[in-house]
Amino acid sequence: MQEKYLKWIFEELEKRSKTKERDDESTIKSINKCIEENKKKISNLLDMKIKEMISDDEYWEKRNDIMQENKDLQSKLVRNTNDDDKWVELTRDTFNFITYSRIWLKKGGKEERKKILMGLCSNPKLKDKKLLVLQQKQLEIIKVITQPFRGPDGVFEPFKIVYIKPKTTPRGAVLSLKQGLVDAVATYFQGIEPGSVYVPKCDKDRFE
């Protein structure tokens, strides 16, 4: 990916990050409200038991159901409260990687080339003296989504392609490309275990 598209991508990433932050705040408020309502339900159940409006068996059955629901809500609350912005960092690093890795390969040494290989591939295996590798999932996602916006030379040129292929790549597709590209990569990182994917930090200024 050419450097000129990074700002374009990162603007969308920033918007997504702020949207998720607002959604998380709303979710946390909603969970806390449900937990408080369940506490009231347990209190009401106890009153009903004392007044003999329900049997002991009914009381404990309903109480256990509410307690289990609260346990599930507490787990969900912990996940939302502890959710960090690691996915933002990984998404940003991924787009920096596909932009600047060529510079690292050209100007870097053995250590830089090793990092690039690790960033490109996952689960390397040696078979019959041949190194078998799989492309990192986030790179596959980007490749598939950007394919319609690549020229004959394979270069990603979304704004140019709409004029070369106006029938197959309408201008409206470019407007949704940025959001779809960022959403797909970010969603992938949000759904994996922390530390399960390695993305090298390929900064622009290292070899300048």
DSSP string, 58-121: HHHHHHHHHHHHHHHHHHHHHHHHH--SHHHHHHHHHHHHHHHHHHHHHH--HHHHHHHHHHHE
CA distances from 173 to 132, 145, 168 (A): 36, 11, 10
Whether 149 and 117 share a structural domain: yes
Whether 70 and 118 share a structural domain: no
Whether 47 and 16 share a structural domain: yes
Whether 56 and 26 share a structural domain: yes
Distance of alpha carbon 202 from the chain centroid: 19
Instruction: Yes or no: say if 32 and 70 are a contact pair by the CB < 8 Å rule.
Output: no
Whether 101 and 117 share a structural domain: yes
In a domain, 204, yes or no: no
Report the pLDDT value the prediction gives residue 97, as an integer from 0 to 100. Answer: 92
Type of residue numbered 118: M
Report the pLDDT value the prediction gives residue 58, as an integer from 0 to 100. Answer: 93
Report the pLDDT value the prediction gives residue 206, as an integer from 0 to 100. Answer: 67
Which of 99, 148, 101 has its CA nearest to residue 121? 101
Report the pLDDT value the prediction gives residue 62, as an integer from 0 to 100. Answer: 94
In a domain, 205, yes or no: no
Report the pLDDT value the prediction gives residue 68, as an integer from 0 to 100. Answer: 95
pLDDT at 159 over 70: no
Between residues 4 and 199, the one the model is more confident about: 199
Which of 39, 97, 88 has its CA nearest to residue 66? 39
> Where among 25, 49, 82 does a domain terminate?
82
Number of structural domains (the chain) is 2
Whether 180 and 90 share a structural domain: yes
Give the C-alpha separation, 13 to 190, whole Å: 13
State which H helix or E strand residue 38 sits in: helix 6-50
Q: What is the mean pLDDT of residues 111-140?
A: 80
Report the pLDDT value the prediction gives residue 6, as an integer from 0 to 100. Answer: 85
Domain residue limits at 78 = 6-82
Query: Comparing 73-77, 147-151, 195-199, 203-207, which segment has the lowest mean pLDDT?
Result: 203-207
Whether 144 and 161 share a structural domain: yes
In a domain, 201, yes or no: no
State which H helix or E strand residue 17 sits in: helix 6-50
Between residues 8 and 127, the one the model is more confident about: 8
Sign of CA dihedral 60, 48, 70, 65: positive
pLDDT at 95 over 60: yes
Using DSSP, state whether 200 is helix, strand or coil: coil
Q: What is the mean pLDDT of residues 6-19?
A: 88
pLDDT at 126 over 70: no
Query: Comparing 70-79, 154-163, 194-203, which segment has the lowest mean pLDDT?
Result: 154-163
Report the pLDDT value the prediction gives residue 111, as an integer from 0 to 100. Answer: 86
Instruction: Yes or no: say if 94 and 138 are a contact pair by the CB < 8 Å rule.
Output: yes
In a domain, 208, yes or no: no
pLDDT at 151 over 90: no
State which H helix or E strand residue 126 sits in: strand 121-127
Using DSSP, state whether 125 is helix, strand or coil: strand
